[in-house]
Chains A and B, each alone.
Chain A
Protein backbone atom coordinates (compact mmCIF):
# COMPACT_ATOMS: atom_id res chain seq x y z
CA UNK A 1 0.00 0.00 0.00
CA UNK A 2 1.36 3.43 -1.00
CA UNK A 3 0.04 5.30 2.07
CA UNK A 4 2.08 8.38 1.28
CA UNK A 5 0.24 8.72 -2.00
CA UNK A 6 -3.11 8.44 -0.24
CA UNK A 7 -2.01 11.13 2.22
CA UNK A 8 -0.66 13.33 -0.60
CA UNK A 9 -3.94 13.21 -2.54
CA UNK A 10 -5.98 13.73 0.63
CA UNK A 11 -3.89 16.70 1.72
CA UNK A 12 -3.92 18.24 -1.76
CA UNK A 13 -7.72 18.00 -1.93
CA UNK A 14 -8.18 19.36 1.57
CA UNK A 15 -6.04 22.43 0.81
CA UNK A 16 -8.55 23.28 -1.92
CA UNK A 17 -11.26 23.04 0.73
CA UNK A 18 -9.38 25.20 3.23
CA UNK A 19 -8.74 27.83 0.56
CA UNK A 20 -12.48 28.31 0.36
CA UNK A 21 -13.24 27.54 3.98
CA UNK A 22 -15.36 30.60 4.48
CA UNK A 23 -17.70 29.75 1.60
CA UNK A 24 -17.73 26.12 2.68
CA UNK A 25 -18.81 27.19 6.13
CA UNK A 26 -21.13 30.07 5.45
CA UNK A 27 -23.29 28.59 2.68
CA UNK A 28 -24.63 25.61 4.70
CA UNK A 29 -25.28 27.92 7.65
CA UNK A 30 -27.33 30.28 5.50
CA UNK A 31 -29.25 27.56 3.65
CA UNK A 32 -30.03 25.69 6.87
CA UNK A 33 -31.31 28.86 8.45
CA UNK A 34 -33.51 29.47 5.40
CA UNK A 35 -34.93 25.95 5.58
CA UNK A 36 -35.81 26.54 9.21
CA UNK A 37 -37.51 29.80 8.42
CA UNK A 38 -39.52 28.28 5.57
CA UNK A 39 -40.20 24.73 6.74
CA UNK A 40 -39.89 25.18 10.47
CA UNK A 41 -41.71 28.46 10.95
CA UNK A 42 -44.11 28.65 8.00
CA UNK A 43 -45.07 24.99 7.58
CA UNK A 44 -44.17 23.85 11.09
CA UNK A 45 -46.73 26.19 12.56
CA UNK A 46 -49.39 24.12 10.78
CA UNK A 47 -47.90 20.69 11.54
CA UNK A 48 -47.26 20.39 15.22
CA UNK A 49 -45.58 17.06 15.51
CA UNK A 50 -44.80 14.08 13.32
CA UNK A 51 -45.23 10.80 15.21
CA UNK A 52 -44.61 12.59 18.47
CA UNK A 53 -41.55 14.55 17.32
CA UNK A 54 -41.67 18.32 17.02
CA UNK A 55 -41.73 19.14 13.26
CA UNK A 56 -38.79 21.53 13.53
CA UNK A 57 -36.65 18.76 15.01
CA UNK A 58 -38.14 16.15 12.68
CA UNK A 59 -36.72 17.79 9.56
CA UNK A 60 -33.15 18.09 10.95
CA UNK A 61 -31.95 14.60 9.92
CA UNK A 62 -33.46 15.04 6.45
CA UNK A 63 -31.88 18.46 6.14
CA UNK A 64 -28.46 17.12 7.09
CA UNK A 65 -28.83 14.17 4.71
CA UNK A 66 -29.89 16.45 1.86
CA UNK A 67 -26.76 18.57 2.19
CA UNK A 68 -24.41 15.73 2.98
CA UNK A 69 -25.54 13.70 -0.02
CA UNK A 70 -25.34 16.54 -2.51
CA UNK A 71 -22.05 17.79 -1.05
CA UNK A 72 -20.27 14.42 -1.03
CA UNK A 73 -21.60 13.73 -4.49
CA UNK A 74 -20.42 17.01 -5.99
CA UNK A 75 -17.10 16.99 -4.11
CA UNK A 76 -16.42 13.41 -5.14
CA UNK A 77 -17.31 14.18 -8.75
CA UNK A 78 -15.37 17.43 -8.94
CA UNK A 79 -12.28 15.98 -7.20
CA UNK A 80 -11.58 13.52 -10.00
CA UNK A 81 -13.16 15.48 -12.84
CA UNK A 82 -10.90 18.49 -12.30
CA UNK A 83 -7.61 16.59 -12.91
CA UNK A 84 -9.20 15.21 -16.06
CA UNK A 85 -10.26 18.70 -17.10
CA UNK A 86 -6.91 20.45 -16.47
CA UNK A 87 -4.89 17.42 -17.59
CA UNK A 88 -3.14 16.63 -14.32
CA UNK A 89 -4.65 13.13 -14.48
CA UNK A 90 -1.44 12.10 -16.28
CA UNK A 91 0.28 12.21 -12.92
CA UNK A 92 -2.13 9.80 -11.28
CA UNK A 93 -1.87 7.42 -14.22
CA UNK A 94 1.93 7.44 -14.29
CA UNK A 95 2.46 7.23 -10.52
CA UNK A 96 3.02 3.98 -8.63
CA UNK A 97 -0.49 3.96 -7.19
CA UNK A 98 -3.40 1.56 -7.58
CA UNK A 99 -7.10 2.35 -7.86
CA UNK A 100 -7.76 1.85 -4.17
CA UNK A 101 -5.15 4.43 -3.17
CA UNK A 102 -6.49 6.99 -5.65
CA UNK A 103 -10.05 6.37 -4.46
CA UNK A 104 -9.08 6.54 -0.79
CA UNK A 105 -7.38 9.90 -1.30
CA UNK A 106 -10.10 11.56 -3.36
CA UNK A 107 -13.15 9.96 -1.79
CA UNK A 108 -11.73 10.35 1.71
CA UNK A 109 -11.27 14.08 1.14
CA UNK A 110 -14.71 14.52 -0.46
CA UNK A 111 -16.35 12.64 2.41
CA UNK A 112 -14.45 14.69 5.01
CA UNK A 113 -15.70 17.94 3.48
CA UNK A 114 -19.28 16.68 3.45
CA UNK A 115 -18.95 15.45 7.01
CA UNK A 116 -17.74 18.87 8.07
CA UNK A 117 -20.75 20.49 6.42
CA UNK A 118 -23.06 17.95 8.06
CA UNK A 119 -21.67 18.85 11.45
CA UNK A 120 -22.04 22.58 10.70
CA UNK A 121 -25.69 22.05 9.80
CA UNK A 122 -26.28 20.01 12.93
CA UNK A 123 -24.75 22.83 14.96
CA UNK A 124 -26.82 25.49 13.19
CA UNK A 125 -29.99 23.43 13.62
CA UNK A 126 -29.40 23.05 17.34
CA UNK A 127 -29.63 26.84 17.58
CA UNK A 128 -33.20 26.70 16.26
CA UNK A 129 -34.63 23.56 17.88
CA UNK A 130 -34.08 21.33 20.89
CA UNK A 131 -32.28 18.23 19.72
CA UNK A 132 -31.53 15.05 21.59
CA UNK A 133 -29.78 12.28 19.75
CA UNK A 134 -30.88 8.88 21.05
CA UNK A 135 -28.21 6.79 19.32
CA UNK A 136 -25.19 9.06 18.75
CA UNK A 137 -22.88 6.29 17.58
CA UNK A 138 -25.40 4.99 15.06
CA UNK A 139 -25.96 8.58 13.93
CA UNK A 140 -22.25 8.98 13.30
CA UNK A 141 -22.05 5.63 11.52
CA UNK A 142 -24.93 6.53 9.17
CA UNK A 143 -23.44 9.94 8.54
CA UNK A 144 -19.96 8.62 7.74
CA UNK A 145 -21.27 5.78 5.57
CA UNK A 146 -23.51 8.16 3.64
CA UNK A 147 -20.64 10.60 3.09
CA UNK A 148 -18.37 7.82 1.87
CA UNK A 149 -20.82 6.07 -0.41
CA UNK A 150 -22.07 9.26 -2.03
CA UNK A 151 -18.52 10.49 -2.50
CA UNK A 152 -17.81 7.15 -4.22
CA UNK A 153 -20.89 7.62 -6.39
CA UNK A 154 -19.67 11.14 -7.18
CA UNK A 155 -16.25 9.75 -8.11
CA UNK A 156 -17.92 7.53 -10.72
CA UNK A 157 -19.84 10.51 -12.10
CA UNK A 158 -16.61 12.52 -12.23
CA UNK A 159 -14.95 9.84 -14.32
CA UNK A 160 -17.98 9.39 -16.54
CA UNK A 161 -18.54 13.11 -17.16
CA UNK A 162 -17.05 14.52 -20.35
CA UNK A 163 -17.96 18.13 -19.57
CA UNK A 164 -19.27 20.34 -16.80
CA UNK A 165 -22.90 19.90 -17.91
CA UNK A 166 -22.71 16.15 -17.44
CA UNK A 167 -21.04 16.73 -14.10
CA UNK A 168 -24.14 18.60 -12.94
CA UNK A 169 -26.64 16.32 -14.63
CA UNK A 170 -26.83 13.38 -12.25
CA UNK A 171 -26.89 15.41 -9.03
CA UNK A 172 -29.53 17.72 -10.45
CA UNK A 173 -31.77 15.28 -12.28
CA UNK A 174 -31.43 12.18 -10.13
CA UNK A 175 -30.17 12.82 -6.65
CA UNK A 176 -31.98 16.01 -5.66
CA UNK A 177 -35.44 14.61 -6.59
CA UNK A 178 -34.68 11.31 -4.87
CA UNK A 179 -33.64 13.13 -1.71
CA UNK A 180 -36.69 15.38 -1.70
CA UNK A 181 -39.00 12.44 -2.40
CA UNK A 182 -37.20 10.22 0.10
CA UNK A 183 -38.86 11.62 3.16
CA UNK A 184 -36.44 14.42 4.02
CA UNK A 185 -39.21 16.69 5.20
CA UNK A 186 -42.04 14.26 5.95
CA UNK A 187 -42.75 10.79 7.20
CA UNK A 188 -43.75 8.25 4.55
CA UNK A 189 -46.82 7.47 6.65
CA UNK A 190 -48.11 10.96 5.77
CA UNK A 191 -48.41 9.97 2.07
CA UNK A 192 -51.38 8.29 0.32
CA UNK A 193 -50.93 4.46 0.14
CA UNK A 194 -49.97 4.40 -3.57
CA UNK A 195 -47.17 6.88 -3.00
CA UNK A 196 -46.04 4.98 0.07
CA UNK A 197 -45.45 1.92 -2.13
CA UNK A 198 -43.68 3.93 -4.83
CA UNK A 199 -41.45 5.60 -2.25
CA UNK A 200 -40.24 2.19 -1.08
CA UNK A 201 -38.31 1.94 -4.36
CA UNK A 202 -36.39 5.11 -3.57
CA UNK A 203 -33.02 4.07 -2.16
CA UNK A 204 -32.53 7.40 -0.43
CA UNK A 205 -35.55 6.70 1.79
CA UNK A 206 -33.62 3.95 3.56
CA UNK A 207 -30.71 6.25 4.36
CA UNK A 208 -32.84 9.09 5.68
CA UNK A 209 -35.02 6.70 7.64
CA UNK A 210 -32.04 5.04 9.31
CA UNK A 211 -30.47 8.38 10.07
CA UNK A 212 -33.70 9.68 11.57
CA UNK A 213 -33.96 6.53 13.70
CA UNK A 214 -30.57 7.38 15.21
CA UNK A 215 -32.02 10.74 16.30
CA UNK A 216 -35.52 9.88 17.47
CA UNK A 217 -35.75 6.08 17.60
CA UNK A 218 -38.48 6.09 14.93
CA UNK A 219 -38.16 5.00 11.32
CA UNK A 220 -40.14 4.40 8.10
CA UNK A 221 -38.27 1.15 7.47
CA UNK A 222 -36.45 -1.18 9.91
CA UNK A 223 -33.00 0.19 10.76
CA UNK A 224 -31.29 -3.08 9.81
CA UNK A 225 -32.68 -2.74 6.29
CA UNK A 226 -31.37 0.83 6.16
CA UNK A 227 -27.91 -0.30 7.16
CA UNK A 228 -27.95 -3.09 4.59
CA UNK A 229 -29.09 -0.68 1.89
CA UNK A 230 -26.27 1.77 2.52
CA UNK A 231 -23.66 -1.00 2.83
CA UNK A 232 -24.91 -2.47 -0.43
CA UNK A 233 -24.73 0.89 -2.20
CA UNK A 234 -21.20 1.40 -0.87
CA UNK A 235 -20.04 -1.98 -2.20
CA UNK A 236 -21.74 -1.43 -5.55
CA UNK A 237 -19.94 1.89 -6.07
CA UNK A 238 -16.61 0.42 -5.03
CA UNK A 239 -17.11 -2.48 -7.45
CA UNK A 240 -17.85 -0.13 -10.33
CA UNK A 241 -14.72 1.91 -9.58
CA UNK A 242 -12.64 -1.25 -9.43
CA UNK A 243 -13.94 -2.16 -12.90
CA UNK A 244 -13.22 1.37 -14.20
CA UNK A 245 -9.58 1.19 -13.20
CA UNK A 246 -9.20 -2.38 -14.43
CA UNK A 247 -10.44 -1.50 -17.88
CA UNK A 248 -9.22 2.10 -17.93
CA UNK A 249 -12.70 3.23 -19.03
CA UNK A 250 -12.69 6.99 -19.77
CA UNK A 251 -9.32 7.51 -18.08
CA UNK A 252 -6.66 5.50 -19.91
CA UNK A 253 -6.60 5.46 -23.70
Chain B
Protein backbone atom coordinates (compact mmCIF):
# COMPACT_ATOMS: atom_id res chain seq x y z
CA UNK B 1 0.00 0.00 0.00
CA UNK B 2 1.17 3.53 -0.74
CA UNK B 3 1.48 5.56 2.43
CA UNK B 4 2.64 8.88 1.06
CA UNK B 5 1.69 9.98 -2.42
CA UNK B 6 3.21 13.18 -3.74
CA UNK B 7 2.22 14.20 -7.24
CA UNK B 8 3.23 17.22 -9.26
CA UNK B 9 4.12 19.27 -6.21
CA UNK B 10 5.55 22.70 -6.87
CA UNK B 11 6.43 25.37 -4.37
CA UNK B 12 7.07 28.88 -5.53
CA UNK B 13 7.83 31.51 -2.91
CA UNK B 14 6.91 35.15 -3.20
CA UNK B 15 9.76 36.68 -5.10
CA UNK B 16 9.74 33.82 -7.57
CA UNK B 17 12.15 31.31 -6.01
CA UNK B 18 11.04 27.79 -6.91
CA UNK B 19 11.94 25.46 -4.05
CA UNK B 20 10.09 22.47 -5.55
CA UNK B 21 9.79 22.05 -9.30
CA UNK B 22 7.28 19.27 -9.83
CA UNK B 23 7.97 16.49 -7.37
CA UNK B 24 6.42 13.03 -7.79
CA UNK B 25 7.16 10.48 -5.13
CA UNK B 26 5.42 7.35 -3.82
CA UNK B 27 6.39 5.97 -0.45
CA UNK B 28 5.24 2.50 0.51
CA UNK B 29 3.85 1.65 3.91
CA UNK B 30 6.53 0.38 6.27
CA UNK B 31 9.55 1.33 4.20
CA UNK B 32 12.46 3.56 5.09
CA UNK B 33 13.20 6.10 2.41
CA UNK B 34 16.32 8.21 2.59
CA UNK B 35 16.16 11.47 0.71
CA UNK B 36 19.63 12.60 -0.21
CA UNK B 37 20.49 16.02 -1.44
CA UNK B 38 22.80 18.97 -0.95
CA UNK B 39 21.82 21.99 1.14
CA UNK B 40 19.03 23.96 -0.46
CA UNK B 41 17.89 21.02 -2.60
CA UNK B 42 14.31 21.25 -1.35
CA UNK B 43 14.32 18.42 1.21
CA UNK B 44 12.94 20.47 4.07
CA UNK B 45 10.43 22.26 1.84
CA UNK B 46 9.11 18.92 0.65
CA UNK B 47 8.71 17.64 4.21
CA UNK B 48 7.10 20.93 5.25
CA UNK B 49 4.59 20.62 2.44
CA UNK B 50 3.63 17.10 3.53
CA UNK B 51 3.32 18.08 7.20
CA UNK B 52 1.27 21.24 6.65
CA UNK B 53 3.90 23.83 7.52
CA UNK B 54 4.09 25.06 3.94
CA UNK B 55 1.28 25.18 1.41
CA UNK B 56 2.27 23.79 -1.99
CA UNK B 57 1.67 26.13 -4.93
CA UNK B 58 0.60 23.23 -7.15
CA UNK B 59 0.06 19.50 -6.93
CA UNK B 60 -1.46 17.14 -4.40
CA UNK B 61 -0.13 15.23 -1.41
CA UNK B 62 -1.89 12.32 0.24
CA UNK B 63 -0.90 10.56 3.45
CA UNK B 64 -2.64 7.29 4.21
CA UNK B 65 -5.05 8.20 1.40
CA UNK B 66 -6.00 11.54 2.97
CA UNK B 67 -5.34 14.81 1.19
CA UNK B 68 -3.08 16.93 3.41
CA UNK B 69 -4.97 20.13 2.59
CA UNK B 70 -8.65 19.18 2.40
CA UNK B 71 -8.53 16.31 4.89
CA UNK B 72 -5.68 17.61 7.03
CA UNK B 73 -6.87 16.21 10.34
CA UNK B 74 -6.88 12.59 9.19
CA UNK B 75 -3.58 13.09 7.34
CA UNK B 76 -1.73 14.82 10.16
CA UNK B 77 -3.00 12.31 12.72
CA UNK B 78 -0.66 9.82 11.06
CA UNK B 79 2.41 12.04 10.84
CA UNK B 80 5.24 12.60 13.28
CA UNK B 81 7.86 15.22 12.46
CA UNK B 82 11.36 15.67 13.81
CA UNK B 83 12.47 19.05 12.49
CA UNK B 84 16.00 19.95 11.53
CA UNK B 85 16.24 22.96 13.82
CA UNK B 86 16.12 22.46 17.56
CA UNK B 87 12.79 24.16 18.14
CA UNK B 88 11.87 23.70 21.78
CA UNK B 89 10.33 25.78 24.52
CA UNK B 90 13.40 26.35 26.73
CA UNK B 91 11.76 26.74 30.12
CA UNK B 92 9.48 23.74 30.03
CA UNK B 93 10.20 20.36 31.60
CA UNK B 94 11.09 17.57 29.21
CA UNK B 95 8.15 15.37 30.19
CA UNK B 96 5.64 18.23 29.88
CA UNK B 97 6.72 19.17 26.42
CA UNK B 98 6.46 15.53 25.32
CA UNK B 99 3.01 15.18 26.90
CA UNK B 100 1.98 18.42 25.24
CA UNK B 101 2.62 17.00 21.78
CA UNK B 102 0.54 13.92 22.54
CA UNK B 103 -2.34 16.14 23.69
CA UNK B 104 -2.00 18.38 20.66
CA UNK B 105 -2.57 15.35 18.45
CA UNK B 106 -5.76 14.57 20.36
CA UNK B 107 -4.48 11.44 22.07
CA UNK B 108 -5.50 10.53 25.63
CA UNK B 109 -2.83 10.81 28.30
CA UNK B 110 -0.69 7.66 28.44
CA UNK B 111 2.09 7.83 31.02
CA UNK B 112 3.34 4.31 30.32
CA UNK B 113 3.89 5.11 26.66
CA UNK B 114 5.63 8.41 27.42
CA UNK B 115 7.90 6.63 29.90
CA UNK B 116 8.72 3.99 27.33
CA UNK B 117 9.59 6.61 24.68
CA UNK B 118 11.73 8.60 27.12
CA UNK B 119 13.57 5.50 28.31
CA UNK B 120 14.36 4.36 24.79
CA UNK B 121 15.90 7.73 24.07
CA UNK B 122 17.80 7.78 27.40
CA UNK B 123 15.77 10.79 28.52
CA UNK B 124 13.93 9.29 31.47
CA UNK B 125 16.48 10.57 34.01
CA UNK B 126 16.15 14.04 32.54
CA UNK B 127 12.35 14.08 32.46
CA UNK B 128 12.04 16.81 35.10
CA UNK B 129 14.85 18.99 33.74
CA UNK B 130 14.03 22.18 31.90
CA UNK B 131 14.83 21.88 28.21
CA UNK B 132 17.39 24.71 28.37
CA UNK B 133 19.51 22.70 30.80
CA UNK B 134 20.06 19.92 28.24
CA UNK B 135 22.95 19.52 25.82
CA UNK B 136 22.36 19.85 22.08
CA UNK B 137 22.25 16.09 21.57
CA UNK B 138 19.77 15.68 24.40
CA UNK B 139 17.55 18.37 22.92
CA UNK B 140 17.50 16.49 19.67
CA UNK B 141 16.37 13.40 21.57
CA UNK B 142 13.53 15.46 23.04
CA UNK B 143 12.44 16.40 19.52
CA UNK B 144 12.36 12.73 18.58
CA UNK B 145 10.45 11.84 21.76
CA UNK B 146 7.88 14.51 20.96
CA UNK B 147 7.36 13.14 17.46
CA UNK B 148 6.92 9.61 18.81
CA UNK B 149 4.62 10.62 21.67
CA UNK B 150 1.50 10.45 19.54
CA UNK B 151 2.31 7.09 17.92
CA UNK B 152 2.65 8.24 14.31
CA UNK B 153 2.37 5.84 11.37
CA UNK B 154 4.65 7.98 9.23
CA UNK B 155 7.75 9.58 10.69
CA UNK B 156 9.71 12.36 9.04
CA UNK B 157 13.25 12.85 10.27
CA UNK B 158 14.75 16.00 8.80
CA UNK B 159 18.55 15.71 9.00
CA UNK B 160 18.31 13.90 12.33
CA UNK B 161 22.01 13.23 12.72
CA UNK B 162 23.44 16.54 11.57
CA UNK B 163 26.01 17.45 14.21
CA UNK B 164 25.07 14.57 16.48
CA UNK B 165 27.41 12.36 18.49
CA UNK B 166 28.01 8.70 17.70
CA UNK B 167 25.99 7.49 20.67
CA UNK B 168 22.86 9.35 19.68
CA UNK B 169 23.24 8.21 16.10
CA UNK B 170 23.36 4.60 17.28
CA UNK B 171 20.39 5.06 19.64
CA UNK B 172 18.44 6.71 16.89
CA UNK B 173 19.12 3.96 14.38
CA UNK B 174 17.93 1.46 16.97
CA UNK B 175 14.72 3.40 17.48
CA UNK B 176 14.26 3.60 13.72
CA UNK B 177 14.78 -0.16 13.39
CA UNK B 178 12.17 -0.83 16.04
CA UNK B 179 9.68 1.53 14.45
CA UNK B 180 10.20 -0.27 11.18
CA UNK B 181 9.38 -3.57 12.90
CA UNK B 182 6.14 -1.95 14.06
CA UNK B 183 5.37 -1.07 10.47
CA UNK B 184 5.99 2.67 10.72
CA UNK B 185 6.91 4.36 7.45
CA UNK B 186 10.05 6.46 7.81
CA UNK B 187 11.32 9.23 5.59
CA UNK B 188 14.66 10.69 6.47
CA UNK B 189 16.61 13.42 4.80
CA UNK B 190 20.33 13.53 5.06
CA UNK B 191 23.40 14.57 3.24
CA UNK B 192 25.39 11.74 4.76
CA UNK B 193 25.51 8.93 2.27
CA UNK B 194 26.59 6.42 4.95
CA UNK B 195 23.39 7.09 6.81
CA UNK B 196 21.27 6.25 3.80
CA UNK B 197 23.34 3.10 3.30
CA UNK B 198 22.97 2.03 6.90
CA UNK B 199 19.21 2.18 7.35
CA UNK B 200 17.28 2.92 4.18
CA UNK B 201 15.29 0.50 2.02
CA UNK B 202 15.16 2.94 -0.84
CA UNK B 203 17.21 5.99 -1.63
CA UNK B 204 15.95 9.09 -3.39
CA UNK B 205 18.17 11.85 -4.70
CA UNK B 206 16.82 15.38 -4.78
CA UNK B 207 18.48 18.49 -6.16
CA UNK B 208 17.18 21.93 -7.07
CA UNK B 209 13.63 20.97 -6.23
CA UNK B 210 13.52 17.86 -8.40
CA UNK B 211 13.75 14.16 -7.62
CA UNK B 212 16.55 12.82 -9.80
CA UNK B 213 16.36 9.18 -8.85
CA UNK B 214 14.58 6.80 -6.52
CA UNK B 215 16.00 3.31 -6.33
CA UNK B 216 16.09 0.27 -4.07
CA UNK B 217 19.16 0.63 -1.95
CA UNK B 218 20.38 -2.88 -2.78
CA UNK B 219 20.23 -2.18 -6.51
CA UNK B 220 22.02 1.04 -5.94
CA UNK B 221 24.63 -0.67 -3.78
CA UNK B 222 25.16 -3.31 -6.45
CA UNK B 223 25.99 -0.52 -8.83
CA UNK B 224 28.19 0.98 -6.21
CA UNK B 225 29.97 -2.30 -5.52
CA UNK B 226 31.52 -2.29 -9.00
CA UNK B 227 35.23 -1.73 -9.00
CA UNK B 228 37.74 -1.15 -11.73
CA UNK B 229 41.25 -2.52 -11.85
CA UNK B 230 43.46 -0.37 -14.04
CA UNK B 231 46.63 -1.84 -15.41
CA UNK B 232 49.02 0.69 -16.91
CA UNK B 233 51.40 -0.75 -19.44
CA UNK B 234 54.93 0.34 -20.33
CA UNK B 235 54.38 -0.18 -24.08
CA UNK B 236 51.21 0.62 -26.03
CA UNK B 237 49.09 -2.23 -27.36
CA UNK B 238 47.28 -2.50 -30.68
CA UNK B 239 44.59 -4.76 -29.28
CA UNK B 240 43.81 -6.85 -26.21
CA UNK B 241 45.81 -10.10 -26.59
CA UNK B 242 43.59 -13.16 -27.36
CA UNK B 243 44.85 -14.95 -24.23
CA UNK B 244 43.16 -12.25 -22.10
CA UNK B 245 39.81 -12.38 -23.91
CA UNK B 246 37.98 -14.20 -21.11
CA UNK B 247 38.50 -11.20 -18.77
CA UNK B 248 36.49 -8.85 -20.97
CA UNK B 249 39.05 -6.10 -20.72
CA UNK B 250 38.81 -2.68 -22.31
CA UNK B 251 41.76 -0.88 -23.77
CA UNK B 252 41.79 2.88 -23.25
CA UNK B 253 42.31 5.31 -26.14
CA UNK B 254 45.95 5.92 -25.38
CA UNK B 255 46.35 2.10 -25.74
CA UNK B 256 48.47 2.00 -22.58
CA UNK B 257 45.83 0.98 -20.04
CA UNK B 258 43.74 -2.14 -19.61
CA UNK B 259 40.61 -1.84 -17.50
CA UNK B 260 39.06 -4.81 -15.72
CA UNK B 261 35.63 -4.47 -14.08
CA UNK B 262 34.78 -6.74 -11.14
CA UNK B 263 32.51 -6.88 -8.13
CA UNK B 264 34.29 -6.24 -4.88
CA UNK B 265 31.78 -8.34 -2.94
CA UNK B 266 32.25 -11.41 -5.17
CA UNK B 267 33.91 -14.54 -3.80
CA UNK B 268 36.37 -14.74 -6.67
CA UNK B 269 37.33 -11.45 -8.19
CA UNK B 270 39.57 -13.07 -10.78
CA UNK B 271 42.34 -10.57 -10.12
CA UNK B 272 44.98 -13.21 -9.37
CA UNK B 273 44.27 -15.13 -12.57
CA UNK B 274 44.23 -11.92 -14.58
CA UNK B 275 47.58 -10.80 -13.27
CA UNK B 276 49.09 -14.21 -14.00
CA UNK B 277 47.63 -14.12 -17.53
CA UNK B 278 48.98 -10.61 -18.08
CA UNK B 279 52.45 -11.78 -17.06
CA UNK B 280 52.37 -14.85 -19.28
CA UNK B 281 51.20 -12.73 -22.23
CA UNK B 282 54.51 -10.92 -21.83
CA UNK B 283 53.01 -7.49 -21.07
CA UNK B 284 55.18 -5.11 -19.05
CA UNK B 285 53.15 -3.60 -16.21
CA UNK B 286 54.08 -0.07 -15.13
CA UNK B 287 51.41 0.48 -12.47
CA UNK B 288 48.21 -0.98 -11.07
CA UNK B 289 45.37 0.90 -9.41
CA UNK B 290 41.75 0.34 -8.42
CA UNK B 291 38.76 2.71 -8.31
CA UNK B 292 35.30 2.37 -6.81
CA UNK B 293 32.03 3.86 -7.89
CA UNK B 294 30.50 5.56 -4.87
CA UNK B 295 27.04 6.94 -4.19
CA UNK B 296 28.86 10.24 -4.21
CA UNK B 297 29.95 9.61 -7.84
CA UNK B 298 26.43 8.66 -8.88
CA UNK B 299 25.14 11.67 -7.03
CA UNK B 300 27.62 14.06 -8.57
CA UNK B 301 26.92 12.52 -11.98
CA UNK B 302 23.18 13.00 -11.59
CA UNK B 303 23.52 16.54 -10.42
CA UNK B 304 25.88 17.41 -13.27
CA UNK B 305 23.44 15.85 -15.76
CA UNK B 306 20.61 17.92 -14.34
CA UNK B 307 22.64 21.08 -14.56
CA UNK B 308 23.45 20.38 -18.22
CA UNK B 309 19.75 19.82 -18.90
CA UNK B 310 18.85 23.02 -17.12
CA UNK B 311 21.43 24.93 -19.12
CA UNK B 312 20.17 23.50 -22.43
Contact = CB atoms under 8 A, between A and B. Distances in A.
B103 A7 contact: yes
A5 B106 contact: yes
Interface residues of B, number: 35
Interface stretch (A90-98, A127-135, A216-224, A233-241): A90-98
B108 A4 contact: yes
29 contacts: A4-B104, A4-B106, A5-B106, A8-B103, A15-B96, A82-B89, A87-B83, A87-B88, A88-B88, A88-B89, A91-B87, A91-B101, A91-B104, A92-B104, A93-B51, A93-B52, A94-B52, A94-B53, A94-B76, A94-B79, A95-B76, A95-B104, A96-B73, A96-B74, A96-B106, A97-B104, A98-B73, A252-B54, A253-B48
A16 B51 CA distance: 28
Interface of A: 2-5, 7-9, 11-12, 15-16, 19, 82-83, 86-98, 248, 252-253
A105 B83 CA distance: 23
B270 interface: no
Contacts of B72: 96
A90 B96 contact: no
A173 B242 CA distance: 93
A98 B74 CA distance: 12
A246 to B, nearest CB: 11
B90 interface: yes
A15 B89 contact: no
Interface string B59-92: 0000000000000111011010101011111111
B105 interface: yes
A16 B93 CA distance: 11
A51 B13 CA distance: 61
Contacts of B88: 86-88
Contacts of A89: 87
Contacts of B247: none
A5 B53 contact: no
Contacts of A93: 51-53
Given A8-B100, A252-B52, 17 more contacts: A4-B103, A4-B108, A8-B104, A9-B100, A9-B103, A12-B92, A88-B87, A90-B81, A91-B87, A94-B52, A94-B79, A95-B101, A96-B74, A96-B77, A97-B104, A248-B55, A253-B55
B77 A5 contact: no
A192 B263 CA distance: 98
A92 B89 CA distance: 13
A94 B147 CA distance: 11
Contacts of A96: 72-74, 76-77, 105-106
A93 B51 CA distance: 8
Contacts of A9: 100, 103-104
Residue of A4, A5, A91, A252 with most partner-chain B CB within 10 A: A91
A19 B90 CA distance: 13
Given A4-B108, A8-B100, A8-B104, A94 B92 contact: no
B55 A252 contact: yes
A100 to B, nearest CB: 13
A122 B37 CA distance: 61
A23 to B, nearest CB: 14
B54 A253 contact: yes
A181 to B, nearest CB: 36
Nearest to A20: B91
Contact of A16 (B48, B91, B102): B91
